[in-house]
A and B are shown apart, each in its own frame.
Chain A
Amino acid sequence: MLSVLDNISLSLDAYLVLAGLLFAIGSFGFLARRNAISMLMSIELMLNAVNLSIIAFGAFTISLRESASVIALIVIAAAAAEATVGLAIVIAIYRNRKTPLVDEYDAMRQ
């Protein structure tokens, strides 16, 4: 039964399944949470899942070896920029509406 787990750290499938699981958790958090910052945190989880799959492909494919790391570093930088702007927007909305809960942002509905 445990033979599936043999050499699991050397199989591409394990990393990709892990990344898919992390992405699904992040998408659940993004869809289900009420707090805007929780949603941003879920987006960070999804970006990390994508990064993990990029790194996994780079680790098991010779032609991608250095490029994968470079792409992952660029994704990390883009994620940092996204987090900065996203949190600034949340703080700006909080200043006007006095709540971080996204289901109370209904100005466009009226």
Chain B
Amino acid sequence: MTLPETIPLLGFGWDDLLFMILAGIMIGSALLVVTMKDIIRCGLAMIVCFAALAGLYVFAGAPLVAAAQVLVYIGAISVLVLFAIMLTQTKAGPASLVFQTQAFPAAIAAAVLALLIAVTVASTDWPEAGARIWTDTTKLAQTLFADFTLPFEVVSVLLLAAVVGAVYIAKREPGGSD
């Protein structure tokens, strides 16, 4: 059985439906990340958000970045965040007050920011934008290791420095109070 060319009744293609589902999941879970009370659930919603974003990267024709997103964000950063949450939970449970007193002005500012970006994007005519193109992973590897060798090496040194620095900052002082 083959699917019809466009979705019955709605009239747009299956790609667009999948794109909208992924976008909805991403925005919805991002909203949950910033509004939910239990911070562990915020961390889990963040994983959902990153997964939907990886799907959007595939849609935008960058499968290698999508794979890196799954490996680094879902596999590493989310686990790190969840560990940090569990290490810093107070015994009284989640704080009853989730937001600062400035939450309402912050919401207005964020809404204005989103509106400004949307209006700017809609009113700009991107001169070089053409059809969607897929990134060839072989060419991507050649670009990464030929044109971008120095940034690549700098990033590896940065990661090493960050790991060593994080261990130094987070380790217990010998003879400390706890």
Interface residues of A (CB under 8 A from B): 2, 5-10, 12-29, 31-38, 40-42, 44-45, 48, 51-52, 55-56, 58-63, 65-70, 72-74, 76-85, 87-92, 94-95, 98-101, 103
Contact = CB atoms under 8 A, between A and B. Distances in A.
Contacts of A29: 33-34
Interface residues of B, number: 96
Nearest to A102: B100
Interface of B: 10-13, 15-16, 18-20, 23, 26-27, 30-31, 33-34, 39, 42-43, 46, 49-50, 53, 56-57, 59-62, 64-65, 68-69, 72-73, 76-77, 80-81, 83-85, 87-90, 95, 97-100, 102-103, 106-107, 109-111, 113-114, 117-118, 121-122, 126, 128-133, 135-136, 139-140, 142-144, 147-148, 151-152, 155, 158-159, 161-163, 165-167, 169-170, 172, 176, 178
A6 B16 contact: yes
Contacts, number: 280
B16 A5 contact: yes
A88 B106 contact: no
A25 to B, nearest CB: 5
Given A72-B65, A77-B155, A28 B106 contact: yes
A31 B100 CA distance: 8
B98 A73 contact: no
A68 B61 CA distance: 11
Given A59-B61, A70-B144, A100-B90, A25 B110 contact: yes
If over half of B's interface residues share one DSSP class (helix, strand or loop), that class is named, otherwise mixed; here it is helix
Given A32-B99, A55-B62, A67-B143, A24 B42 contact: no
Contacts of B49: 45, 48
Max chain B CB contacts within 10 Å: which of A56, A59, A69?
Answer: A69
A70 B62 contact: no
Contact of B27 (A15, A21, A27, A37): A21
16 contacts: A7-B13, A21-B27, A25-B30, A28-B34, A31-B102, A32-B99, A36-B88, A58-B62, A59-B135, A68-B62, A69-B140, A74-B152, A77-B155, A77-B159, A88-B166, A98-B90
A72 B62 contact: yes
Contacts of A8: 12, 16, 19-20
Contacts of B128: 61-63
